[in-house]
Amino acid sequence: MTTPAGGGAGWYRFDTAGLADDARPAAIAAGLVADCGHSRVTHLCPRELVWARWRCTRLSASIRIIRYDGSAVRVTRRARDVADHPTPWMLFAVPGTAGGTFRQGGSTRRLSSDELVLVDAGAPYDYRSAEGGRSAVRVAATALPVGAEDIRAAAPLLRHSPLHDLVRDHICSLAGMVDPPADTHTRDDVDRATSLLLLALLVSCGASLTPPRDV
């Protein structure tokens, strides 16, 4: 079941423990679609073994922190989904468990547990995860002064960046928070630091900053 919380942070918790076995797959699919964009969700285990719990914290209008623990699942965002349900979101995710695979931009790779992955919801992708925990930061592409093509070009290079481990550990630390920062100023500082880290990571992979527009 979902537990929303008030306050400026804007966060919720979700746990299938209180749901009947038959209701869990659809509830998980609905939650993943809400967080990752319209997509096809396939559970990779028997229905009676499907489970999930996750937390989502809204740092700002542009950034959300997600911690997801659950059974193995496949999320496929097709070209039709991208065309019919456009979204500005991209996710910087840490699988947490080895054995998953990720396909986007014509290439497929097997993921290690501590690898940082950039999922661009503005393009088709296929993500298969093993059972376990995943940490992610969801950010609006428009919040970072980097062009879409540069973001896509940088995505497969993240693991070679000298900032890879720093950004990965930052994301895991954020996702491990039990509760979001209650103080508005602290939340704003964390939001800005996260944006700057993600931007620095992309630039370290060859992305160019978009010139500011004249007002």
Nearest Cα to Cα of residue 91 among 148, 43, 136: 136
Strands, E assignment, 78-131:
89-94, 101-104, 107-110, 117-120, 125-129
Low-confidence stretches of the chain (pLDDT < 70) are 1-11, 178-180, 210-215
User: Position 210: which residue type?
Assistant: T
- What pLDDT score was predicted for residue 37? 85
User: Rounded CA gap, 187 and 8, in Å?
Assistant: 9
pLDDT for 6 equals 39
- Look up residue 91 and give its two tokens: 């996710």
Please state the length of the chain. 215
48, with CB counted inside 10 A (0-12, 13-18, 19+), is exposed
* Whole-number pLDDT of residue 82: 94
pLDDT for the residue 14: 85
Backbone region of residue 206 per phi and psi (left: phi > 0; alpha: psi in -120 to 50; beta: other values): left
Residue at 209: amino acid letter:
L
Positive or negative CA dihedral for 198, 175, 129, 50?
negative
| DSSP conformation letters of 192-206 | HHHHHHHHHHHHHTT
Q: What is the pLDDT of residue 211?
A: 52
210: nearest Cα among 164, 123, 144, 155: 144
Domains within the chain, CATH numbers bracketed = 2-204 (2.60.120.10)
Classify 99 in phi/psi space as left (phi over 0), alpha (psi -120 to 50) or beta: left
